[in-house]
Amino acid sequence: MYLISYGTRPELIKLFPLINIFKENNIDHKTIFTGQHEDLIKEFENLTHRPDFVLEKTMKHKQSINSLIYKIINESQKIINSYDCKVIIQGDAASSFAVALSAFNEGKEVIHVEAGLRTHNLRSPFPEEGFRKMISHISNIHFCPTIKSVENLKNEGIIENVHLVGNTIVDSCAQIIEKGESSDYLNELISSNDDYYLCTLHRRENINNFQSMWEQLNQISENKTIIYIKHPSVPNSEDFLGKNIIKLDPMTYQDMVFAINNSKGLISDSGGLQEEAICLNKNILICRDTSERPETIDSGFGKLIGSDILNNIQFLENGNTKDIVENPYGKNVVKKILEVLSD
């Protein structure tokens, strides 16, 4: 039996195709929602079935990362101990690390989806780079998205049970695009603003850069529509963003894919958006100094810019000048994962 754990929006987005294919093939599994992004509840009905277990009150205002990890380890341990199971986690969030460590401490096998991503800088992104390195060394099966991620694990001495399958975001985007649905509100908004950049900013390492970046966005918005998706970890963004910028609360994943797909390009410090940019053929200005997804940059869709948005905005207007033969993140990824687990 498999226990599939997620606690944040990116984890659910990456795992819902896997959860759904488990259900379609009658594979015994349960899901755990560790509760960081409490607003995810509304996403379940759109993407997959509701979780079998929900960890209560793991999030507290201004709590430390250590406090969050402690709560998740303690609460998830009770569930993990109730089953003869293997535990599936995704990515590098605090929830992924906490559940992986809880499973490891209880002698359960850990299966890591999206294994091997590295910036080779423990402080960027922080704390995710540390989390994913530690997860790799306590996992039993590693599902890697790219050749470079396989090489990263090999360089750390991890060579057994490493499988190159691709990135599940490919399946996530494909399934949402196939549905072709979005909210009436977003349809109306985009129909009246059909030439826009989509922007999200939330990384801890950008805390000292936010005000400068917001000022640059204000300048750009004098000539170009910007749709800015607010993030709960940056509650004061509205205080600095000008009236020409359309500010929206976090939206469902279906709406997000629709908004990306209809945009002129992306401005973001998000990791997941670097992958979705390729899947949806959009250029992205990556507001970071390093990236664990070099494939997006190598493919011509992404450009690392630090916090200098204004002087790099033309990159979005130019579009991708490279001839991309195939998506570096693969295709039919969850089917490949299922094949490995079936063996």
CA dist., res. 59 & res. 124, Å (int) = 24
**SS3 of 142, please?**
strand
Find residue 32's DSSP bridge partners: 5, 53
CA dist., res. 330 & res. 337, Å (int) = 12
Find residue 54's DSSP bridge partners: 33
CA dist., res. 317 & res. 311, Å (int) = 12
How do the residues of the chain divide into helix, strand and coil, expressed in percent and rounded to 5? 45, 15, 40
Half-sphere exposure of 229 (CA within 13 A, CB side): 23
Task: State the helix-helix crossing angle for 333-342 and 169-179, rounded to 10 degrees.
Answer: 130
| Sheet arrangement for strand 53-54 | 53-54, 29-33, 2-6, 86-90, 109-113, 141-144, 162-164
Q: Burial letters for 71-98: b for 16+ Cβ neighbours within 10 Å, e otherwise?
A: bbbebbbebbeeeebbbbbbbbbbbbbb
Active site residue 37: no
Q: Which two tokens stand for residue 237?
A: 């963004």
Q: 160 vs 6, 138, 301, CA distance in Å?
A: 25, 12, 32
User: Whose CA is closest to 130, among 106, 98, 178?
Assistant: 98
The answer to whether the CB of 132 falls within 8 A of the CB of 118 is yes
State the catalytic residue, choosing from 29, 163, 202, 231: 202
The residues assigned a catalytic role are: 202
